A and B are shown apart, each in its own frame.
Chain A
């Protein structure tokens, strides 16, 4: 097996699918010769040609509309939106056109589109390049939302997304692109959409999280185990829509306490949904209220105070202590 960064794993997934299925095409801004601003598609145009991997004019709504139109004719478009904040420009095409295609046509048409976009803080990027917008998308019926936290999952989940006959919004955390390498199998394999992963077993309290916060949460889990001796279970959701509530509920039954950590603003986001699911399905197993560790409900701050705004291990430890001491 090869050691790959997440960006290499993502590229590998696209290469595998371009080879396997002639209907897979990749397009977006600067994805061709240069391979995208983060080089996720580097070399793919040279390998598969301009018919399969191509640059578009700079217009996100049209990138989305091209994907929808091509999808109705049997293609499986992978569209890259260069930075997450630019999805607002394409939001009608993603949230209204792609996400409602199956519903509006009574199942006649489908939109097997993968929308790839980088997001996520901690890299001091320019405004609107990092905003965690997953909550907007999860509130949109008809679209799946995937957020991998490591290279192995990224490749397997992206292959699943490309093969999915419904639109999948695939969010790639900027801070994870090149931060570490992991073993990634050659060739094709899939990680199923809709299945969470218990990345750390524990018995006393559960952290439910996703994306880069998986790594911050693992750090917090180690710290609190050292200082307090508690065993923390950490769940990486991997998919935010659909949500794997079975894995969450199983963990609550075991630990009876939980916090949810998210990089997105606190109100009405993924954490709120996870807590609602726990209330509906496991409330009698709780020994304490489930808390959220999340940034305040402000716009994503300019780079100068980004580090203070984002959840860190200390804030997560504080949250764990609250539910343990309830």
Chain B
């Protein structure tokens, strides 16, 4: 591709030739391997662990939805349908890689080490939810759509300056890819050649707005072109494809080859959040049924069963473990000492200034 020609409007060489991308996939919807060349190098035990985590996450999500309905959780964004993208992408990282999550990305940070009861505390509006343990390399989830993209870029800048072979990863949805923060992060990461992985979980809807109304771009992955970074599209319902895409992106980052934008094509089976939207108002039954055919758990289960690596009994044991863990962790969250106003005041600055000490005294009187 030739460089843009500023003066020559007749010179069509400035038009960037954009080709349609084909999503990376390893497994077909029937669980058979369709692209053996892209198969990530994983041991049988690792393959089983991926399945365990997806099943666990599905069960945890179902329990969390119920807990929300019971009023035992606060804000909650369901994840069922997106397990392959979430679990697979985290699985492809090292423990010292850094995750900047959005509000739906609880599975990634919990699998990266955040205790589940803290995820529940976050949902219940308790500061301790964000008190990440020292050896867990994540930020608390971001509420402003896209801001985490800039943080991941800044974290990657820190890794690069320190000469550490670590990468940062961040997530947003297809709606988030319209934000200015998204473009600024990609551009900075390109200009500074930073070890960042920008993941867009394109589940088709920004709350209720369909992807067709989100952008006229051929794909989200194409947006990497303008930033001069690698852009790939992956079947987000295919956990092995996600693992491969993130492993490759992490390797590029660690090798000094810069950032990657990964668009994962996925679907959420449930509402955007438990706080109001009704998917039947903006999605058809046929569409949902079609995506259910691509259920990442079913595909991967078939793959593993065919390899003789998975059984109903194993799956039942994981479901049981997930239910018990959620029960235990929600209890821990519910019995954690509540926040106080004086505690809140003291969390504003390292040293509480005089005017806040005076305001605190009103609550201690």
Contact = CB atoms under 8 A, between A and B. Distances in A.
Are A and B a genuine interacting pair, yes or no? yes
Contacts of A75: 158, 161
Contacts of A56: 188, 191
Contacts of B344: 103
Nearest to A110: B350
Contacts of B185: 62, 65
B357 to A, nearest CB: 10
Contacts of B128: 106
Contact of A66 (B188, B348, B353): B188
A309 to B, nearest CB: 31
A105 B130 CA distance: 4
A68 interface: yes
A247 B285 CA distance: 68
Nearest to B188: A62
Name the residue in B153, B154, B162, B348 with the highest tally of chain A Cβ atoms < 10 Å from its Cβ: B154
Contact of A69 (B152, B354, B355): B152
Given A57-B188, A62-B150, A73 B353 contact: no
Contacts of B354: 194, 242, 245-246
A57 B356 CA distance: 38
Interface string A70-100: 1111110000000000000000110011000
Interface in A250-274: none
Nearest to A66: B154
Interface stretch (B139-147, B200-208, B309-317): B139-147
Given A57-B188, A97-B151, A194-B353, A108 B130 contact: yes
B349 A69 contact: no
B267 interface: no
A69 B127 contact: no
Contact of B181 (A61, A104, A243): A61
Interface in A86-134: 92-93, 96-97, 102-110
Contacts of B159: 73
A102 B348 contact: yes
A93 B150 contact: yes
Contacts of B147: 65, 92-93, 96-97
A37 interface: no
Given A69-B155, A92-B144, A242 B353 contact: yes
A319 interface: no
Contacts of A69: 100, 150-158, 168
Given A65-B181, A72-B155, A102-B347, A57 B187 contact: yes
Contacts of A62: 150, 153, 181, 184-185, 187-188
B132 interface: yes
Contact of B127 (A68, A93, A106): A106
A293 to B, nearest CB: 24
A87 to B, nearest CB: 15
Contacts of B347: 102-103, 106-107
B180 interface: yes
B215 interface: no
B131 interface: yes
User: Which size class do A's interface residues fall under?
Assistant: 35 or more
A28 interface: no
Interface string B148-189: 011111111111011000001000000000001100110110
Nearest to B139: A72
A148 interface: no
Interface string A221-235: 000000000000000
B154 A70 contact: yes
Nearest to B181: A61
A166 interface: yes
A277 B155 CA distance: 41
Interface in B322-365: 344, 347-350, 353-356
Contacts of A70: 154-155, 157-158, 161
A35 interface: no
B349 A65 contact: no
Contact of B140 (A93, A104, A243, A245): A104
B97 to A, nearest CB: 12
Contacts of B127: 103-107
A297 interface: no
Contacts of B151: 65, 68-69, 72, 97
A164 B130 CA distance: 22
Contacts of B130: 104-106, 108-109
A164 B350 CA distance: 9
A157 interface: no
B181 A107 contact: no
Interface string A279-306: 0000000000000000000000000000
Contacts of A243: 355
A165 B351 CA distance: 9
A107 B132 CA distance: 10
A64 interface: yes
Contact of A74 (B129, B152, B158): B158
Given A93-B150, A106-B131, 13 more contacts: A59-B184, A62-B185, A65-B147, A66-B188, A68-B154, A69-B151, A69-B158, A70-B154, A70-B158, A103-B344, A105-B131, A107-B347, A109-B139
16 contacts: A51-B161, A59-B187, A61-B184, A62-B188, A66-B153, A66-B154, A66-B157, A69-B150, A70-B157, A73-B159, A93-B150, A102-B348, A104-B130, A104-B140, A144-B349, A242-B356
Interface of A: 25, 51, 56-57, 59, 61-62, 64-75, 92-93, 96-97, 102-110, 141-142, 144, 164-166, 194, 242-243, 245-246
Interface of B: 98, 100, 127-132, 139-140, 144, 147, 149-159, 161-162, 168, 180-181, 184-185, 187-188, 191, 344, 347-350, 353-356
Closest 9 CB pairs of A and B: A69-B154, A65-B150, A73-B158, A106-B127, A242-B353, A62-B184, A106-B131, A66-B154, A105-B130
